[in-house]
Amino acid sequence: MSLSENQVSQIAYLARLSLNEAQLKDTTQDLNAIFSLVEQLANIETDGIEPISHPLHMSQRLREDIVAEQDQSALFQSVAPKTSNGYYLVPTVIE
Amino acid sequence: MHTKTIVELAQGLKDKDFSCVELTQHYLNRINQSNLNAFITVTDELALVQAKAADNKIASGNANILTGMPYAHKDIFCTKGVKTSAGSKMLDTFVSPYDATVSQKLNQAGLVMLGKTNMDEFAMGSSNENSFYGAVKNPWNRLKIPGGSSGGSAASVAGGLSCFSTGTDTGGSIRQPASLCGITGLKPTYGRISRYGMIAYASSLDQAGPMTKTAQDAAIVLNVMAGFDEKDSTSAEQKVPDYTTHLNDSIKGLTIGLPKEFFSYGLDNEVASNIMTAVKEFEAMGAIVKEVSLPNSAYAIPAYYIVAPCECSSNLSRLDGVRYGYRAKDVKNLEDLYLRSRSEGFGEEVKRRIMIGAYALSAGYYDAYYLKAQQVRHLISDDFKKVFERVDVIMGPVSPTTAFDLGSVKDPVSMYLADIYTLSANLAGLPGMSIQAGFAQKLPIGLQLIGNYWSESKLLNIAHQFQLQTDWHLKTPQEC
């Protein structure tokens, strides 16, 4: 497998990252090197092997659906780049 | 004072040889004079306030062994009112509005935070060269890397800038810098220490732990850091024992497994011979050594470099310039805001891992990569299970070499190989340790111990017994 610059550019966009021409060239080379390392996985027989998502095979803990936190939105919004009346401000999306 | 352990300093404070304010000021002076770049933020005012409070506590007879102990906190743990950057430009101006559970526990224990330590950006790296704040230097040789990602934490302990430090380990980030800086580092079982408020990199692998001068100190700090936390959905409801209780148990009859895969191609000869000398020391103490095999450990690197980037690509999607963190200036529209904030805010290695993850998780590739890697994780885990039926502990090197030159490893794949012996413990969720076990060309070598789940007490016991017989942990760099 080998990724083209075009594909890498698409991947970058998927991750909402932009790359200039020089970065695109370097990144394509790096990602191809990394994926050729990762391709070794294909050689391992894993038929019937359960994939693990939790190293200790624990399942997600549930709790009662009760209010546990106080409203701290003002505190949490104090670190936001731009807010107004409890809203996060971003450039206009719909005119 | 700065070469003393927690146990020795606690005695000094108790005997009034020095006050906590004096001790704290001593460390702050050393930090200010240091050129290791181990700290991103020095919290001198806060530290002196905490030190004064600790002195009062000691005077009133309400102190515990950690009261007033000056430590360095990895800048990945949220600290209320104090900048928490994770080594990234993205969070350069982020002052956390809340405390991580670990921060809260350390505060409650009456500790003194000297500052926040330098690290690879979002804990992604093995050399600390990926920090927005520049590389940390190894206290043993300033031209060498300290290891990563907890490089600042390791350098601060080795360089006598803090009594101990906190670290996090996703693929070796406590053990590898501990090894390269010649200190003791413990990565506990996954779920042992709360991840709440610890900036997430790869959530199914991340685990915090203590970085100290000795195993005894690590046990004392782990006592405070460990425990169930309902705010962390993967926190384990496992009772926390007193980790100091079994430190002095005899290790006669201990069975040690040496995985042949950990002594394979790429291992430096001098590192190998020092590790074998350490193993012989254990034999002299009555341990029995067996050769074992972890056949799938060769696949730890490819499995890790799928699992971790996938989780990081998902975790770091929250950093988009909207709610907190860096926002690009003069953006054209919302998409431009996302693209430019992320492109300008993240460093190269972080972007690389986000892209690996984005690709591996994209439609049509999930089964071939993420699912496959999770299956391989199962195989790696089963290998360990089989080995732990035969032995009490696994030993081997932490890192294939001693600390390499700053700037010498440029391509990402070569850098990834630095973690070859540490990754599998994370993939399986097992506890691992690095302890001082020798030198090559005046650079420290770490011996790795990997134990079964929840065997932290046993690992600390084994490490402590070794430190009673050897003096590698007492060596300090020349400047100290």
Number of domains present in the structure of chain B: 1
**CB pair distance less than 8 Å for B413 and A34:** yes
* Closest CA of chain B from A64, distance in Å: 12
The radius of gyration computed from the CA coordinates of chain A, to the nearest angstrom, equals 22
Measure CA B383 to chain center: 24
| Burial of A26 per CB tally in 10 Å (0-12, 13-18, 19+) | middle
Is this model's pTM higher than 0.90 or not?
yes
Parent domain of B366: 1-480
Determine which of A2, A23, A35, A38 to mutate to test the interface with B (most B C-beta atoms within 10 Å): A38
Q: Which of residues 192-221 of B touch A (CB under 8 A)?
A: 204-205
Structure tokens at B277: 């000398």
**Partner-chain contact B354 A75, CB within 8 Å:** no
Per-residue pLDDT band for A63 (boundaries 50, 70, 90) equals confident
3-state secondary structure of B92: coil
Q: Which of B74, B116, B137, B144 is catalytic?
A: B74
Angle, alpha carbons B1-B4-B10 (nearest 5°)? 90
Mean pLDDT of the B62-83 span: 97
Residue B480's pLDDT is 64
Encode pLDDT of B145-200 as tens digits.
Answer: 999 999 999 999 999 999 999 999 999 999 999 999 999 999 999 999 999 999 99
Q: What is the mean pLDDT of chain B?
A: 97
For the segment A3-24, the average pLDDT, to the nearest whole number, is: 97
Using pLDDT thresholds of 50, 70 and 90, give the confidence band for residue A94. Answer: confident
Residue partners of B123: CB distance under 8 A and separation at least 6: B76, B86, B87, B149, B150, B168, B170, B173, B199, B201, B206
Question: Which ipTM did the prediction report?
Answer: 0.95
Has B173 been annotated as catalytic?
yes
For residue B152, the model assigns a pLDDT of: 98
Q: Which of B305, B396, B348, B302 is nearest to B131 (CA)?
A: B348
Who's near B355: CB < 8 A, 6+ residues apart?
A8, A11, A12, A15, A17, A27, A31, B313
pLDDT tier, B235 (very low <50, low <70, confident <90, very high otherwise): very high
pLDDT tens per residue, range B298-341: 999 999 999 999 999 999 999 999 999 999 999 999 999 999 99
**Closest-CA residue of chain A to B326:** A81
The whole-angstrom distance between B341's CA and the closest CA on chain A is 9
* pLDDT over threshold 80, residue B259: yes
pLDDT at A89 over 70: yes
CATH number at residue B311: 3.90.1300.10
Q: Residue B180: beta bridge partners?
A: none
For the ranges A47-51, B181-185, B221-225, B285-289, which has the lowest average pLDDT?
A: A47-51
* Structure-token pair, residue B339: 């693209």
Which one of A8, A56, A79 has the shortest CB-CB distance to B324? A79
Between CA A87 and CA A92, with CA A90 as vertex, the angle to 5 degrees is: 110
- Please check whether residue A8 is in contact with residue A24, taking contact to mean a CB–CB distance below 8 angstroms: yes
Is some CB atom of chain A closer than 8 A to the CB atom of B83? no
Q: Do B340 and A18 touch (CB under 8 A)?
A: yes
Closest approach of chain B CAs to the CA of A1, in angstroms?
A: 12
Question: Torsion angle, CA of B194/B229/B456/B262, rounded to 10 degrees?
Answer: -40
Residue B478's pLDDT band, with cuts at 50, 70 and 90, is confident
